[in-house]
Amino acid sequence: MGIDNNDLLAFNESMAITAGVGSGQGNDAYEVGVNACKNAFDQLGQPDADLVIVFSSVVYDQKKVIEGVRSVSKNALLVGSSTAGEITNNGPAKKSVVVMVIKSDQITFAAGAGNDIKTDAKKAGHDAADQVKKQLGDKLKTFILLTDTLSGNGSEVLRGVLDVVGQHFPVVGGGSGDDAQYKQTFQYFNNDVLSGSAVGLGLAGSFKFSMGVKHGWVSLSPVLKVTKSSGAIVQEIDGNPAIEVYEKYLGTERAQQLKETVLAKLALSYPLGMQVEGSDELLLRAPFFVDKQGSITCGGEVPQGSEVRIMVGSSKEAIEAAKQAAQKLLDQLGSKPKAILLFNCHVRDKLLGPKAKEEIDAMQEIIGKDVPLIGFYTYAEQAPLAGEVRNIERCNPSLHNETVAMFALGE
């Protein structure tokens, strides 16, 4: 007895990668988690999933959110993060819980967690990656990292991951948020709500993936040298207190804003751009605040001796860059994505304000509005420079600020 075309179609669909996205809002954290997950399963159209991804605002009791999600998703592998804003196909949201569920017999998922970033950031990254690597071995194809960048050096966490998976390995992800309170962020791993931790998700199997990474800012100043720094704190540039560079190029009165407000509006438009060896792309560093000595604390590590520039950006350039990131993502994938993860710096959200939806719309115009999409506004982004994942020798994962990083799954 032969197989008719309908049977063949059903067979092909069963082999496919399918995803569903749902969101929830309300007063009861448990119910919001339940509803977000139910909505995701409704879109998936299947009763169970292989992977559940959760991004949640910190206005909700985090444990209750995860309990609500797990009551629906049962024992499916779960990873996720608290946010500085949530993103789905409907655009940006605040004070919500968003869930993506993925079902595929083409992909094997494995996760791990590393704790206590404050004590040893590199070890936390290493531990998360090591747990994943032990499960997937050499079949590991790509790695998603969700990490607490408030507790310690996010670049060190990433180095710990790369020590395990390889220096030129496609890693993408984001730094957890807490709705711009800058106090405490959370990471999710199955039933556990962690803090000060790194959660890693590894993917192996027969699938395609791609990344798109872009910021859109351009140089305002000539090349300057960081003559004194420690981690993310830049004490001196060209031998003078770091703030003096901003005073020189923007004026004393405008530079004063940096001293008065955490992540002042000025900082959104004028980050530092850091030269990286072997790349035309500049890594951005957002200036979070300035101390009495004129040292600037940035949103990521700035090694002493680095060459930097003051950058300038606007909402127009930010939206155009997001479009270019989406195009790169699509070009590398070579087919319509089955699911998109979006790690978008919360600085961009602040800069764009009411235009934030325009940025998401611009990306969806390229990738398709019907492609399941989930993401969050991050405190940092991890991704290869320029989103390079095809030429593996040029795949250099780094910690970014003020950047959009996209990840696509395809068949």
| Residue-by-residue DSSP string for 303-372 | -TT-EEEEEE--HHHHHHHHHHHHHHHHHHH-S--SEEEEEEEHHHHHHHGGGHHHHHHHHHHHH-TTS-
Q: CA dist 298 to 122, 150, 175, 239, Å?
A: 19, 11, 14, 18
Contacting residues for 31 by C-beta, under 8 A, at least 6 apart: 24, 68
Reply yes or no on whether the pLDDT at 9 is more than 50.
Answer: no
Which of 11-20, 204-213, 216-225, 307-316 comes out lowest in average pLDDT? 11-20
Amino acid at 166: G
What CA–CA distance (Å, rounded) separates 165 from 162? 5
Distance from the Cα of residue 111 to its chain's centroid = 17
Q: What is the average pLDDT across 259-277?
A: 79
User: How confident is the model over 349-398, as pLDDT tens digits?
Assistant: 988 999 999 999 999 999 999 999 999 999 999 999 877 887 877 888 99
What CA–CA distance (Å, rounded) separates 284 from 244? 19
What does the pLDDT read at residue 271?
A: 93
Neighbours of 155 (CB within 10 A): 23
What does the pLDDT read at residue 36?
A: 99
User: How confident is the model over 307-322, as pLDDT tens digits?
Assistant: 999 999 888 999 999 9
| pLDDT averaged over every residue in the chain | 93
Contact 51, 102 (CB under 8 A): yes
What does the pLDDT read at residue 262?
A: 65
b/e for 44-63, b at 16 or more Cβ within 10 A? Answer: beeeebebbbbbbbbbbbbb
User: How confident is the model over 167-192, as pLDDT tens digits?
Assistant: 999 999 999 999 999 999 999 999 99
Reading the block at residue 232, the tokens are: 């993310």
User: How confident is the model over 71-130, as pLDDT tens digits?
Assistant: 999 999 999 999 999 999 999 999 999 999 999 999 999 999 999 999 999 999 999 999
